[in-house]
A and B are shown apart, each in its own frame.
Chain A
Amino acid sequence: MPYDPVEYAKGKEVLVRVHHIEKTYHRGAEVTHALRNISLEIYRGEYICIMGPSGSGKSTLFNMIGALDTPTAGRIFIDEVDMAQLKASELAFLRCRKISYVFQQFNLNQVMTALENVTLPMIFAGKSPEDARKKGMRLLERVGLEKRWNHRPKEMSGGQQQRVAIARSLANDPSLILCDEPTANLDFKTGKDVHNLLYDLNKNDGVTVVCVTHDHNMLTVSDRMLWLSDGLIDRIELSAEVDIRRAQIARKDGQELKV
């Protein structure tokens, strides 16, 4: 069953609308078109992977969707609100409660403990310190790090750090979680843990997940895949479809598929 956009959109609500955006970087005389005229809709509650070769513009698109950077042209709507119209403090509000980010480099605050890192967005949101602590502990428990609450990032492995970062991203119950290569610095096993965590969030909590990745193992947990190449959308596929294809390839090669 090939991907049919009209069919797929049926009964779904648009959360993020990317409208003809472009991003060009000027570096002296050299001009890089990181994104060229990209339009895209991300639906509420879906899990979408963005894939493509290195330098194809994945991170750039990620930044645009997350309102971390401004496009050269085009618009981004989140819940039909134009990001370009928002004031700085409204953007801060959005980043605090509605969107959260998971980065490849974790970006934890190095001087804070795991728990302090997780509670930070709640403090920004105005939650009382006790409530924040309680919820922070609950979240750490969820990612399996409740025993490590008092450790600083330097005292934890990459996988543990990334799990703290995911716990932090859940602090204010966001509607949208954006991940930029969350597993790139992790080994296969810990990477899978992270995927399972994200899958669980998506399916059980109904959080929309947008995930930039090179990791093919991730495909199985996502709903749709977006292939970028050279700043353009190459194709969009349904994961189920790819899964079948891969299974076929695997069977042809006589190998067992590890999922």
Chain B
Amino acid sequence: MEEIIIKKQRQMTFAETLDFCISSIRHRFMRSLLTLSVVILAVAFFMFLQCSNIFRNSVKEGVEKEILENRKAARILNMLYASITEKDFVSMLVDARKSPGDFDRLAKMLGKDQKQMQAFVDNAAQEMIYLRFFEKLPFGKRKALFGQNKDSAQLEMLLKEGAFDEFMKKTRELGGIRIPGGEDQLKTYLDAYKAYRKELKDSFAKLQAVRNSKAFPARTANGKELKERQVLAAHLLSLNEQKKINPEWRDKLAALNVFITDDETKMIVDYLDVQERTNKVKTLLSDEAYRIRWRQVYGKNQYSRMDEKLAHLDTNKTWRVFNEAPSQQKRKLRELQHVIYFGGNPDEVQNLPDDQLKLIPRTDLESIRKNDDIQKELQKLELQLDINTLDDAKGFTPDQIYLMCLSFLVCVVGITNAMLMSITERFREIATLKCLGATDSFILIQIVLEAMIQGVIGGIIGLVLGFIVALSSSVFQVGLRVFASFDWSMIGLAALFSLLAGVLLSVLSSLYPSAKAARMAPMEAMRVE
């Protein structure tokens, strides 16, 4: 008869354990589906929250970049054709301090080297500080100090013989006036002021020479040259496809010491494109024919209420329309009766070709805001277009954080509960395995591994799901722009985080019940129901 020799039970190899797990999951696929779907939902939710935030931020960055480019183009064009006052010119100089490109261009145009230009610009900035300060003084005090003089005339007044001492005396008498930088600094500044004013006048004349040369057609009332401008824009646009500036135009500008790069040309072309469409809006807004049509569509009584209707389109709604994908704009506009931008009634909108629907891209909001005429027009209608609505999008809002914490809690409870249930209902099976010679560690490893596999599979499905939902909801909200500025590294990070959360939660919540099951005597485990 064979003697019983008791040894340690061999440990299953990892490959064997994995094999066992996979076949176990495969066999009880429907059962695993419950746990799996909880994991999927949890991970998808995380992914969704993170991704939609990433999308919104990157869209916002993209929009901001476009706005900055538009502003830059506007600055260049202002230099080329806008009829600006001397005061505007000072602002332009002061602004140039912050933009190296503008600074260099202005320096070249005015024939100054870096150092001279810097001194010139600093003087301009200083002047602006003083003038702003004077402007902000209470009316009575300002009158007592400067009489009828305004703007730079105030500073020039102080240059007269004895005027400065008189001014300081009055200042002290009036009290409560603290000159920026102090008395001495103002005195020093005034010593050089005359020379600066002369320099400024000369420079301004140079700028006007550029404008007068009509290197770029100026804006006039009759609209004839406006047409020319559009032609030039079209010309630039066609050349720009090769990313080259029109040489004729470049030479013309170079003769005036104005240098514009290819990139800047592109910005200008984009800007003009936007402007052109903005002008269309403007024309529409003031078009009597349109008003007549409105009356036809909405009836006589409704005519006077047109303004109200427009005012009804509050900031958010308007913004939302511009954020729609082109195909959605149509629907949304119809919904909002946003017909004014088309000059048609809602039914007509339905039949409009798509390119007309794209009348106003998002960034136009900025140009509309900057365009005084339209702004006035819109103000009359109490309709404000504000790009700042996007500012809320940065980072997680408290609402989102709250939602995230709540969802995390729900996930923890959900996954833990699902795991606990699925393991508890397998106690009998586990006990049987132990009767057949499974070691405690095998049971533990097998169940945790199974949870991990479920976590990974559920996590990956959840990732994809969350990503798709976030993407489609973002496309619905802000349009196809989402695809323009994809931040893959951020999305990858979000994916990693969501996946880790899913796997970790599954593993952690399976650890306790499986350890409990593994350590129990088989009969005890079998009794648990």
Contact = CB atoms under 8 A, between A and B. Distances in A.
B450 to A, nearest CB: 13
A98 B4 CA distance: 7
Contacts of A96: 9, 436-437
Nearest to B6: A90
B224 interface: no
B432 A109 contact: yes
Nearest to A80: B4
A126 interface: yes
B284 interface: no
B523 A69 contact: yes
Nearest to B5: A79
A32 B70 CA distance: 89
A93 B6 contact: yes
Interface in A180-214: 206
B435 A101 contact: yes
A200 B230 CA distance: 105
Interface string B1-38: 11110111110100010000000100110000000000
B7 A92 contact: no
Nearest to B13: A126
Contact of A92 (B9, B432, B526): B9
B437 A175 contact: no
A163 interface: no
A175 B2 contact: yes
B301 to A, nearest CB: 76
A47 B479 CA distance: 81
A13 B429 contact: no
B429 A125 contact: no
A68 B4 contact: no
B290 to A, nearest CB: 73
Given A13-B1, A111-B24, A124-B12, A86 B434 contact: no
A242 interface: no
Given A70-B521, A109-B432, A112-B27, A87 B8 contact: yes
Nearest to B24: A111
Contacts of B27: 111-112
Nearest to B440: A88
A168 to B, nearest CB: 7
B7 A79 contact: no
Interface in B412-460: 428-429, 431-440, 442
A255 interface: no
Nearest to A59: B523
B28 A78 contact: no
A33 interface: no
A120 interface: yes
A138 interface: no
A206 B1 contact: yes
B326 interface: no
Most chain B beta-carbon neighbours within 10 Å: one of A13, A81, A93, A101: A93
B1 A124 contact: no
A206 B1 CA distance: 9
Kindly state the interface size class of chain B when it binds its partner.
20 to 34
A136 interface: no
A35 B418 CA distance: 39
A200 to B, nearest CB: 19
Interface in B387-430: 428-429
B524 interface: yes
Contacts of A44: 1
A126 to B, nearest CB: 5
B9 A89 contact: yes
B344 interface: no
B62 interface: no
B447 to A, nearest CB: 15
A68 B439 contact: no
A72 interface: no
Interface in A60-112: 63, 68-70, 78-79, 81, 86-90, 92-98, 100-101, 107-112
A121 B436 CA distance: 5
B138 to A, nearest CB: 89
B522 interface: yes
A102 to B, nearest CB: 10
Contacts of A69: 521-524
Interface in A138-165: none
A57 interface: no
A193 B5 CA distance: 32
A124 B7 contact: no
Contacts of B1: 13, 44-45, 206
A78 B521 contact: no
A107 B432 CA distance: 6
A123 interface: yes
B422 to A, nearest CB: 13
A6 to B, nearest CB: 21
Nearest to A96: B437
Interface in A194-247: 206
A50 B433 CA distance: 25
Most buried by A among B16, B431, B522, B526: B522
A86 B4 CA distance: 14
A120 B434 CA distance: 11
Nearest to A172: B437
A88 B522 CA distance: 11
A168 B432 CA distance: 12
Nearest to A208: B1
Given A109-B429, A111-B24, A124 B6 contact: no
28 contacts: A45-B1, A69-B521, A69-B524, A70-B521, A79-B4, A81-B6, A88-B439, A88-B440, A89-B9, A90-B6, A90-B7, A92-B438, A93-B7, A93-B8, A95-B436, A95-B437, A98-B6, A101-B435, A107-B428, A107-B431, A107-B432, A111-B24, A112-B27, A120-B433, A126-B10, A168-B436, A175-B2, A206-B1
Given A89-B439, A123-B16, 5 more contacts: A63-B523, A69-B522, A95-B437, A96-B9, A107-B428
Interface of A: 13, 44-45, 63, 68-70, 78-79, 81, 86-90, 92-98, 100-101, 107-112, 120-121, 123-126, 168, 172, 175, 206
The 9 closest A-B pairs by CB, nearest first: A96-B437, A111-B27, A92-B9, A93-B9, A79-B4, A124-B437, A69-B523, A68-B523, A107-B432
